[in-house]
Each structure stands twice: as structure tokens, then as C-alpha cells.
Amino acid sequence: MTPLLEVRGIDKSFGPVQVLHDVTFSAYAGEVTALVGDNGAGKSTLVKCVGGIHPIDAGEIVFDGRPVQVHGPRDAGELGIEIVYQDLALCDNLDIVQNMFLGRERKNGLVLDEATMEELAGETLEGLSVRTVKSIRQRVSSLSGGQRQTVAIAKAVLWDSKVVILDEPTAALGVAQTAQVLELVRRLADKGLAVVLISHNMNDVFAVSDRIAALYLGRMAAQVRTADVTHAQIVELITSGRSGDLGLKNGTAP
Amino acid sequence: MSKVKELPGEAVVAAASSPSITNSSRAYLERVRGGDMGALPAVFGLLVLCTAFALARPSFLTAINFANLFTQGAAITVIAMGLVFVLLLGEIDLSAGFTSGVCAAVLAVTLTEMGLPWYVAVLAAIVSGVIIGTMLGTLVAKVGIPSFVVTLAAFLAFQGLALVLVSEGTNISINDPVIKAIAQKNLPPALGWGLYAGCVAAYALVQLTRARKRARRGLVAEPLSMIAGRVGALAVVAGVAVYVLNLERSFNPEFASLTGVPIVVPVILALLVLWTFVLSRTAFGRHLYAVGGNAEAARRAGIAVDRIRISAFVICSSMAAVGGVIAASRASSVDPNTGGSSVLLYAVGAAVIGGTSLFGGKGRALDAILGGAVIAVIENGMGLMQYGASVKYLVTGFVLLLAAGVDALARKRAAAAGLR
């Protein structure tokens, strides 16, 4: 099986600090790939490189078998790569429909086509079996954390996206809401999308992911199938970059 | 968070249905209690002020004074309408008052000193507004100077510029009949009624077609009774206003009859319709709200935030120019103090009293009119009471503070209620 999204040998420096060293990472359609690593391991930087927020210094991004250039969020969006950021990027003063279509409004000539947008937003939420919001015309400010996360994810799915990258979607949520969001993450993959889940929470990672990629100090320590590893091994990979045969040898790629 | 929203079984669409009057009014009450009071403080304040002034000075209620309110408040209302755009982004334009002064001076120079036709002069004034707005907006958005500082600097500089334009303090009189007519002449009574009928019918038609379209697509539409209520209320209020304005208000009707709706009224209405349409029906308006609500989210959604910022300042300054034209028309002259003294604070006050938030993300074009009415009533009523400038300044300052306080408290309350 070929990965839908593959980054090969990416280097990224901010001034004198090299944040990513020769990182290789793949995400497959229909699977949830968890991206784990300690604080400062480079998870967010890697995601921002894929999303076109940071230009890469070296390496290439391969999408659906062909190398692509991602120069900005627009490029990523056109390829079908959507990123749901940790701080959600929703406007509190707008309602759910307005947020989902923000920046890509449907128009009838000059006028906004509210009816079509409302229909599409409703269909998308229904397609994801989201039943937790009262009205899709309520303001985002009145939503709970889990509901906001749901809206942010639904916004990413609305655009026929093929890859959805979620940055710590459950970090600020309670137990019940975390379960809801994880269920939603699983459903996205079951619909055939390639899902990348950044998380610190091992329970979440083992609950939904098919593969796990562990970053250690800017290097990819290992990318393995979730079924093949244990909790303890992943924790070791995160904290020391190696675990038995897995991981980095002497601080370099295996 | 209310408990209802957490119930997992509730379907997405089901909840939004059943839009009965009781439901709508309950939702409205909930919003008000949550701190989103909208136009309520302005309407309430207007009623209290009008009652108080009417009791203290019966002449407040005369037709001539009612007509005066419109011409007195027009320039400030128009400037406030422009300020709404800047306030929506959480920015401020302290120079809007003197921008209107500078643009009025441009009008006077082109019209009186250069003898150009009125439309060229008005165009020149508005173009000056556009240039000023572009400059301010670029300094704020691209250079990154806080708008408070940029416009404070402009506030000083434009006073100088106005002095230069009217050659160190003389005043330039405006003699063009068309320009003078804007704030001094009235529509013929029949035309006033025609305008009234047209506006009410158009409003009803727009509301009804929208509801019908939504209902046809199976979306939640407003109930007919709600629309009828709103159209009815508009018809009654506007009807009374037009009727009173069409009464004879000259002291000596045989000598010179004075009836009809002041021409500034349709001018302001046209601006209201234009900017309401832009704000609520176009992508540009949506993006303005988005930038005001969460600029980072807007940027990530691919919105050109800088361009939105600059265009808000351009709209603000060009509306200030229109306000300057109206002020020049009312005074029949332009001097270095046109748009000075309290104009800016009155305009900011009008926007905030009307319900536009100083924190950004919340505001409508209509707010400027409601707030402008409150300011005009205070100014007018205090004048009738023959209070001096000292009391006027004190009271207006207090009202502005009160409005900003209501805004801040409402925001706090909304945060607590989870509505913001």
C-alpha cells in the first residue's frame, strides 16, 4: 500500500536551531496515524511544514504518488490537506455555518448563498453522525470545548479533504467529550481519509490509531503499526528515542 | 453551558426547528440575559430621554424640533456609521472628526474657490477620504502601529491640514444650492409618503422572499407572524415620523412654507441599506466580522487580514467625508473647526451607544443611527433647557462612559454565560 501523504528527508531550521533532521513520515488513506513525541520534538513544526505555514529547507513532500510544492495554507487546502490546530481557529462571534465556510463562502454573484451553505454544513455534520449541537445557526461562543472541536473537524472535512491533521484535539477536553472526538476521528478514517493525530495521551493513541510515528529531538525514531508495539515501548521511544531494536542508533536514523 | 446542548440524542436539525413566536422571544430573552443586549440600551435610553425632555420643555415635542433632530444628528450619524467598521475590527479612528473637517474643506475649496460643479466637489471630498483611509489603514495594518497612535497623530495633523486648506482660519462659505439642500431642504410631502411606502414594501418583500426561499429548501424559516410584527412596527414608527415631518412647521406659513422629510433622511437611509447589505450579505462583511472576532482564525482561513483592515479604515474615512459634506451643507460654510471639538467623541459615542462593541466583532450599521439619535436628542434637549456648553460636555461624557461601561459589562456577562 502506498501512503497518501509522504514526507521524505525533511530538514527545517529556525535560525541556528535545527528543529527537524531528515524526517520521513507517511500517512495512509483509511488509517489513523498517530504522531507522538515529547514537547519540542518537532511535531507541530512537521505539521506546519506539511500545511505550508513553514517552508522546508530540504526534502520533499509526496502527495498521492507525486511530489508537490506547498507554499502556503492555500496550496495545502487545494491538495486536500486540512489542519485542525490546537487553538481551533474558530471565530466566537460567528455561528457554526459561518465558521465552517469562513474564507470559502458560497456566493450567488455578490450575495452570500446562506441556504446552500447551511444545507452543506448540516449534511457534513450529519455525515459525521454529529448530534451534539442544538442548532447549526448558534454562535460558536455558546459551544462547549468538545463541540468546538467537532465543528473544527467538520470544517476540515467539508472541503473534500483527503488528509486531515489534528493537533492535540483532546488536550483540553473532559472524558466524555474526548470519547466523542476520538469516535469522530475513527469515523473520518473509516470514511477513507488519511488522518494524522498528534497526541500526548497514550490512551487516545492506542484507542484509535493504526500506526504510530514517534519523533525524538527532531528525528523520526520509528514508525510502527500500533498492533505491533506496547504502551511501554512507545513511551521509551518518546523519552529516549529507542526501545530494543526499534528507534535511533546513537542518535542517528536506523 | 446549558445542559440541553450536551444531550447526545439531539439531532442537528431538529432542534433548530419549531420557530414559534414563543421560542424566538425566549431565545431573545436568553440572549439579553446573557449580556447580548443589542439595540435595547439605545432604544430604552431614547425613550427615557425623550420623555424627560418632553416633560421639562414642551417645545421638544414640536414638529420643527423633531425635524431639527434629524439635521442636527445627521453628520455625526454618518461618521459613526463609518466608525462601526473600524470598531468591528477592535480598532479605533480618533481622527474621523477632523477627517470629515479636512474633506469638508476640500469640498469648500473645490466648490467655492475653484468654482467646480457640486458633484466634482463631492467626489473630491470622498476621494480625499479614501486617500486618508488608505494611509491610516496601511500604517495600522502593514507597518503595525497601533491604530490609537496612528489616528491620534492624524487627529493633530488634520487640524493643521484643515487650517492650511482654509488659509489659516478664514471661513469659506458654501453657496451651491445642491450642497446646501442636503441638510437644509426637505422632500415634498407626497414624495415623503412615496418613499415611506416604497421602503416599507421593500422591507416586507425582502423579509418574505427570504423566509419563503428558506422554507422551500426545508430550512428553518422565520414564522410569518414575526415578520408581520417587524414590518408592522416599522410601518407605524416610520409612518408617524413621516406624518409629523409633513406637518407645517413654519412660524409664518404664508411667507415661507416649511414641510416635508429633510433630504438627509433618505441619504442616511440609503447609506444604512448599503452598509447593512455589505455587512450581512457579502463575503467581505463576513470577513470583517471574522477578523474582528479572531484575526488569527481569519488568517488561517485564507482571508487577507491586512486588506480587510485597510478597507475598514477606507470605509470609515470616506464615510467621514460624507459626514463632512453634510456638516458643510448644514452650516453653509467650512472653517478650521468643522469636524472638531466634540464631533469625534459624539460619533464614537453614537456607535457604542447603538450597541457596537469597542472590543471588536460586534456591530451593525443600524447601531450608528440608534446611537446617533440618542446623541442628537441629548444635544437638542440640553440646548432647549438652555444649559451651557459645560453641562453639555459633562452629560455627553457621562453618556459615552455609560455606554462603554454597558458594553464592557455585557461582554463580561456574556463570557460568564458562555455566549462570547
Provide the domain limits for residue B382.
Answer: 49-185+262-389+399-417
Stretch among B305-314, B318-327, B329-338 having the lowest mean pLDDT: B329-338
B217 and A115 within 8 Å at the Cβ level: the answer is: yes
Region B228-243 average pLDDT: 93
Task: Give A144's contacts in chain B (Cβ within 8 Å).
Answer: 1, 5-6
Sign for the CA dihedral angle at B24, B25, B26, B32 comes to positive
Residue B247 lies in a domain: no
- How many angstroms separate the CA atoms of B313 and B307, rounded? 10
In one-letter notation, the amino acid at residue B284 is F
How would residue B17 be classed by pLDDT, with cut points 50, 70 and 90?
Answer: very low
Tell whether the model's pLDDT for residue B197 goes beyond 90: yes
Containing structural domain, residue A237: 5-91+162-247
Cβ distance A50 to A7 under 8 Å? yes
Give me the number of domains chain B comprises: 1
Residues A141, B420: C-beta atoms closer than 8 Å: yes
Task: Give the number of other Cβ atoms within 10 Å of residue B77's Cβ.
Answer: 30
A185's torsion region: left (phi>0), alpha (psi -120 to 50) or beta? alpha
Residues 260-319 of B with CB under 8 A from A: 281-283, 286-287, 289-290, 292-294, 296-298, 300-303
Residue A127 lies in a domain: no
Contact A43, A98 (CB under 8 A): no
Best CA proximity match to B339, nearest among B318, B357, B325: B325
Q: Indicate the DSSP class of residue B12.
A: T
B59 at interface of A, judged by CB pairs closer than 8 A? no
pLDDT for the residue numbered B4: 36
Residue A78, domain member (yes or no): yes
Count CB neighbours of A190 within 10 A. Answer: 12
Q: Which residues of A touch B15 (CB under 8 A)?
A: 133-135
- Does residue A120 form part of some domain? no
Question: Is residue B250 in a domain?
Answer: no
Question: Per-residue pLDDT tens for A95-136?
Answer: 999 999 988 888 888 889 888 899 889 888 887 777 777 788
* Residue A122 resides in a domain: no
What ipTM was predicted for this assembly?
0.82
Does the global pTM surpass 0.90?
no
Q: How far is B320 from chain A (nearest CA, A)?
A: 26
Report yes or no on A82 lying in a domain.
yes
- The predicted pLDDT at position B418 comes to 55
From B16, B414, B420, residue closest to A135, measured CB to CB: B16
Residue A145 falls inside a structural domain = no
Residues of chain B neighbouring A135 (CB-CB closer than 8 A): 12, 15-16, 220
* CA dihedral over B356, B359, B362, B365, signed as positive or negative: positive
Return residues 116-155 of A near B (CB < 8 Å).
Answer: 118-119, 122, 125-126, 130-137, 139, 141-144, 147
| Residue that is written with C-alpha cell 423579509 in the block | B207
Find, among A234, A217, A216, the residue nearest to A225 by Cα.
A234
The CA angle A23-A24-A25, to the nearest 5 degrees, is 120
Chain A: nearest CA to B95, how far in angstroms?
Answer: 27
Contact A112 B282 (CB under 8 A): yes
Residue B242 lies in a domain: no
Q: Which residue of chain A comes nearest to B4, CA vs CA?
A: A134
Residue ranges of B 14-53 with Cβ closer than 8 A to chain A:
15-16
The pLDDT of A16-27, averaged and rounded, is 91
Q: Is residue B132 domain-resident?
A: yes
Q: pLDDT tens, B202-217?
A: 999 999 998 998 888 8
Instruction: Check which CATH number belongs to the domain holding A180 and give it.
Output: 3.40.50.300
In CATH, what number is assigned to the domain containing residue B312? Answer: 1.10.3470
Does residue B329 fall inside a structural domain? yes
The one-character DSSP state at A214 is E
pLDDT band at B6 (very low <50, low <70, confident <90, very high): very low
pLDDT tens digits along B353-370: 888 988 888 899 999 999
Distance (Å, whole) CA A221 – CA A254:
8
> How close B289 gets to chain A, by Cα (Å)?
7
Chain A nearest-CA residue for B418 = A142
Q: CB–CB of A141 and B300 under 8 A? A: no
Query: How far is the C-alpha of B353 from the C-alpha of B43, rounded, in Å?
Result: 10
Convert the pLDDT of each residue in B61-85 to its tens digit.
888 889 889 998 999 999 999 999 9
Q: Which of A82, A134, A143 is most worth mutating to test chain B (most B CB atoms within 10 A of its CB)?
A: A134
A74 close contact with B: CB closer than 8 A:
yes
| Subunit contact B5:A143, Cβ cutoff 8 A | yes
Whether residue A114 lies inside any domain: the answer is no
Q: What are phi and psi of A218, to 5 degrees?
A: 85, 5
CA A192 from centroid of its chain's CA atoms: 15
CB pairs under 8 A between A and B: 117
pLDDT tens per residue, range A145-203? 888 888 888 888 887 788 999 988 888 777 888 888 888 889 889 988 999 999 888 88
Q: Indicate whether B172 pLDDT > 80.
A: yes
Please state the rounded mean pLDDT for residues B113-119. Answer: 90
- Give, in degrees to the nearest 5, the angle at Cα B200 between B239 and B66: 30
* CB proximity list for B120: less than 8 A, separation 6 or greater: B110
| Residue in B3, B36, B300 to test binding to A, most A beta-carbons within 10 Å | B300
**Number of structural domains, chain A?**
1
> Could you tell me which chain A residue has the CA closest to the CA of B359?
A93
Please provide the average confidence, as pLDDT, over all residues in chain B: 87
Partner-chain contact B302 A111, CB within 8 Å: no
Give the E-state strand segments of chain A in sequence order. 5-14, 17-27, 32-37, 58-63, 66-68, 81-84, 107-108, 111-112, 163-167, 194-198, 211-216, 219-225, 242-243, 246-247
Look at the block and give the residue holding cell 446562506: A114
| B53, B361 contact by CB (below 8 A) | no
Say whether residue A69 is in contact with chain B using an 8 A CB cutoff.
no
Query: In which element (H, E) is residue B30 found?
Result: helix B21-33
* Residue A133 lies inside a defined structural domain of this protein: no
CB–CB contact A94 B13 (8 Å): no
Give the pLDDT band (50/70/90) at residue B387. confident
